[in-house]
Amino acid sequence: MICYRAETAVANELGAYLLNAKDEKRMPVKQIIQNNADLVPDYQNKILTIILHTLSAPRYNQAAAKLSDILNQTETIFPGTDLQLKFKISAVSNCEK
């Protein structure tokens, strides 16, 4: 139940960035959860960069980029470290089209 609520909360955030939000807002969340990501630690600057790989549609990449902006504003520290999480989307150039 906790996972469902977390997925719902993220889907609701993404809904504002999707044209057909009612019908498709859960799909990019599922893709984000199941997709590969690169973890790039920068111990000198105390940053852990999470680079999410391209999603199936440009509009999903745009929504994921907006979600990354929201998450980056939280300045979350990865548990057990002093590394701040920074989220990026590998398809940034696709998001600008």
In this structure, the strands spanning 84-89 and 47-52 are parallel
pLDDT in tens, the chain (97 residues): 778 888 888 888 887 777 676 778 888 888 888 999 999 999 999 999 999 999 988 888 988 999 999 999 999 999 999 999 999 999 764 445 4
Cβ atoms < 10 Å from Cβ of 55? 21
Looking at residue 79, what DSSP letter applies? T
**Mind giving me the DSSP string for 19-41?**
TTHHHHTHHHHHHHHHS-EEEEE
